Structure 1
């Protein structure tokens, strides 16, 4: 029996010490503001841990079974982690200089120190002349392609040099290479989305042939960050597939769209997701195009649950067609008075769902809405604003400081999404034109910044 025992001991020694059964992520945040909670977005949603008075926190995971890209946040500061089963990871940083001072120690630190340095170099740190991750690439098509390629090359070289000096697991290197390649493709797709109604060079989308979409599909659903990476790719690709994002009313176009998506993405979750996303977007904003595409969707769709959701979306959207009653609501205005939609009968209502937290909303409110309201002063038009999700003090302060109130405007607030859901708000700001009888004239009507188009729509509503 002794030889067998010796071989067993040798095998155990060669395998190294066993990984701890519990994965631990802890840390210390110097100078962190009090009053918030440390949050991680992982595979099953958000998990939280308190931050002690001394700036310490701790998470323990007894059931972490796979490598998990993770989003960390505290007091509006964020970073990315990569947790592996058995990690005993410790975060260190000075909150006054979050990204620059972020470091890790313990099991798993090599991977996460790489991530901290890469994010500082290519995303969060000062512009030091290195290529940067861009959500809105600028310049010509050739310049956009060049910028994405330079970033990919720089990130690949940094990963290779770091891996030479530090032991990075092969599984992490594969995941990071995938993230680098998908970001490279997503940047080029983002440029195409911004110029979707322009004529891009014929070979612009050749990069899709070497984009590792099938590898991305393997990680779909693994974590919030994986799904976010898929979403960035999909949001750009849908404008490559359907320029302008709107289906044609020609029903024969549906087959071409499916064939293109299959040729470039394969029969994958990415293909399903982009087509479903386009379907729901068009149901809301281009119902005639969605109805033309629907027979093709039914022919190729194999997801019965998705089919039910599409039928439900059609029914909801048709309930908001021109001439249908706008959903009733009662909310509190900035003076404390209860206001119902029915109180505004007899006037045309230009309804705006917005929030102080929404950059495009604030841009419309400050730069374009004042002139639109002034143009219709003294006429039977009410500019009705519903702030969604704002704390009352922030909302009231913004209304006062920005001088958003006016004789022909009503300002309401809600902390829930019930009213927005009833109006099928899918992005902020969203605008609706309602007639004197409380019925829809236009759903998702034009913005104040669209100038003459919006003025003409309101004038037509007044003339009815």
Structure 2
């Protein structure tokens, strides 16, 4: 396992352009790992532009453990640095000139590596908030824990004013202070959401008032997009903000998004909500929100893409209407053998789209077992499970753990061919297909609706 120090918490961030300057880190590795002769150096996700992670650059390590990294930078960045099973996140400024040394066999985190010089530091300075007091994560008294988190944030601020002010520019120090502001909120959010019971209270409207007020006050609206702390709040806290409103889920999301997010993010997320409504065939609600979006952002032109998506969705819906032939497909079973839908000609097929990680899907399995028991002697009924798992091991483990009997196929994700053909935008999703290959229902009852489902199957068997 990598000795990653705060590795998962940072992305590429930047502020005003400083012009291209060469940044250099020369280093020495003590006790080089056998067979490892390179360092991976990677710029991470750019939140402002919604870019994916960049490919890692490779720097060679010689037989004595020496290496040299040279990068032309115009802005402050956070980068992922990996050597064998060791990794860390570094902050690097344009014009940095630093040396780095580490012992790959050291078990002492504080002695594992050292950086000297200007313009480059590791990111341990933020660990004070997350890791210095393990009792915080166990606390049930949120108000006291919140006070402690604020104290740790102040301590980290003081560290920036003393230790790091000697090696970083004033612009970098200012930016990191802003990050600390958001990370104190994030730590409190993690504390609240660590216990599933707390999340259930929020969604059911039973959360303590100070928790509700905390969620309402999460600093979304005035955020700067180059703050990664904001990015984490955005990804981890926005759904809780949705939960405080009492409207249709998609409309609720749309309204909250435009209430709490900066305009550039609000437009992007609003488009996603509308596209999801279109994909689900909710054209009336989608049309209402499209009109509202055009008024909020008159300079943007999303109408063409919406029109194209509506036309595409209507075509899919037409092809999936009861009486239409079920779309043909070929997928692999548990043994890697290709299985076609046409292999089950002249049989009634109960088609279940599911995944091993889907709680509601697993929750239906005991009911499905009862229904299969009723038809165990009827060879004209097939229970066909198409998983959207992307990992075969997880798929097979899910089948074994849940003891799911039937025909099992895997389709490798929501965006693979079969879920797209069948408009599977959420799971579980059920279809009932007749003996002639025609769709009887594109929204078949769940196994837990036993009477309704068995009545439908019995009728299909008679036709």
Taking structure 2 as the reference length, what is the TM-score of the superposition?
0.66
Contact preservation (8 Å) 1:193, 1:240: no
Distance (whole Å) between structure 1 residues aligned to residue 258 and residue 386 of structure 2: 40
The residue aligned with 1:272 is 267
Unaligned runs of 5+ in 2: 1-17
Q: Work out whether 1:171 is the aligned partner of 2:171.
A: yes
Q: Work out whether 1:68 is the aligned partner of 2:77.
A: yes
Contact preservation (8 Å) 1:49, 1:59: no
> Secondary structure of the equivalent of 2:251?
coil
Distance (whole Å) between structure 2 residues aligned to residue 274 and residue 128 of structure 1: 35
Shift of 1:463: 5.1
> Secondary structure of the equivalent of 1:86?
strand
Do the aligned partners of residues 80 and 207 (structure 1) sit closer, same or farther apart at CA in structure 2, a change above 3 Å counting?
Answer: same
The residue aligned with 1:151 is 149
The residue aligned with 1:38 is 40
Distance (whole Å) between structure 1 residues aligned to residue 77 and residue 85 of structure 2: 22
Q: CA RMSD in A?
A: 4.9
Do the aligned partners of residues 171 and 414 (structure 1) sit closer, same or farther apart at CA in structure 2, a change above 3 Å counting?
Answer: same
Pairs within 5 Å for 1:24-423: 24=24, 28=29, 31=33, 38=40, 40=42, 41-43=44-46, 45-50=53-58, 59-62=69-72, 64-71=73-80, 79-88=88-97, 90=100, 92=102, 94=104, 103-107=113-117, 111-112=121-122, 115-119=123-127, 121-123=128-130, 128-129=134-135, 131=136, 147-148=145-146, 150-167=148-165, 168-185=168-185, 188=189, 195-198=202-205, 204-205=212-213, 211=219, 213-217=221-225, 219=226, 227=231, 230-240=234-244, 245-247=249-251, 257=255, 261-262=258-259, 264-265=260-261, 268-284=263-279, 287=282, 289-302=285-298, 304-319=300-315, 321=317, 323=321, 327-344=327-344, 346-354=347-355, 360-361=357-358, 368=363, 371-377=366-372, 378=376, 380-390=381-391, 394=393, 398=397, 402=400, 407-412=405-410, 414=412, 417-419=415-417, 420-422=419-421
The residue aligned with 1:9 is none
Unaligned runs of 5+ in 1: 1-17
Distance (whole Å) between structure 1 residues aligned to residue 258 and residue 101 of structure 2: 42
Contact preservation (8 Å) 1:99, 1:116: no
Contact preservation (8 Å) 2:432, 2:442: no
> Secondary structure of the equivalent of 2:271?
helix
Do the aligned partners of residues 350 and 282 (structure 1) sit closer, same or farther apart at CA in structure 2, a change above 3 Å counting?
Answer: same
Distance (whole Å) between structure 2 residues aligned to residue 386 and residue 232 of structure 1: 27
Shift of 1:433: 0.8
Distance (whole Å) between structure 2 residues aligned to residue 316 and residue 101 of structure 1: 58
Across the two proteins, how many residue pairs are aligned to each other? 405
Do the aligned partners of residues 30 and 102 (structure 1) sit closer, same or farther apart at CA in structure 2, a change above 3 Å counting?
Answer: same
Contact preservation (8 Å) 1:383, 1:409: yes
Do the aligned partners of residues 184 and 349 (structure 1) sit closer, same or farther apart at CA in structure 2, a change above 3 Å counting?
Answer: farther
Shift of 1:84: 1.7
Contact preservation (8 Å) 1:148, 1:188: no
Contact preservation (8 Å) 1:37, 1:48: no
Distance (whole Å) between structure 2 residues aligned to residue 301 and residue 83 of structure 1: 37
Distance (whole Å) between structure 1 residues aligned to residue 452 and residue 118 of structure 2: 59
Taking structure 1 as the reference length, what is the TM-score of the superposition?
0.66
Distance (whole Å) between structure 2 residues aligned to residue 164 and residue 308 of structure 1: 54
> Secondary structure of the equivalent of 1:85?
strand
> Secondary structure of the equivalent of 2:351?
strand
Shift of 1:202: 6.9
Do the aligned partners of residues 75 and 314 (structure 1) sit closer, same or farther apart at CA in structure 2, a change above 3 Å counting?
Answer: farther
Do the aligned partners of residues 283 and 415 (structure 1) sit closer, same or farther apart at CA in structure 2, a change above 3 Å counting?
Answer: closer
Do the aligned partners of residues 312 and 19 (structure 1) sit closer, same or farther apart at CA in structure 2, a change above 3 Å counting?
Answer: closer
Contact preservation (8 Å) 1:441, 1:461: no
Contact preservation (8 Å) 1:72, 1:78: yes
> Secondary structure of the equivalent of 1:462?
helix
| Range with bigger deviation, 410-419 or 30-39 | 30-39
Q: Work out whether 1:433 is the aligned partner of 2:430.
A: yes
> Secondary structure of the equivalent of 2:180?
helix
Distance (whole Å) between structure 2 residues aligned to residue 372 and residue 441 of structure 1: 19
> Secondary structure of the equivalent of 1:198?
coil
Do the aligned partners of residues 246 and 212 (structure 1) sit closer, same or farther apart at CA in structure 2, a change above 3 Å counting?
Answer: closer
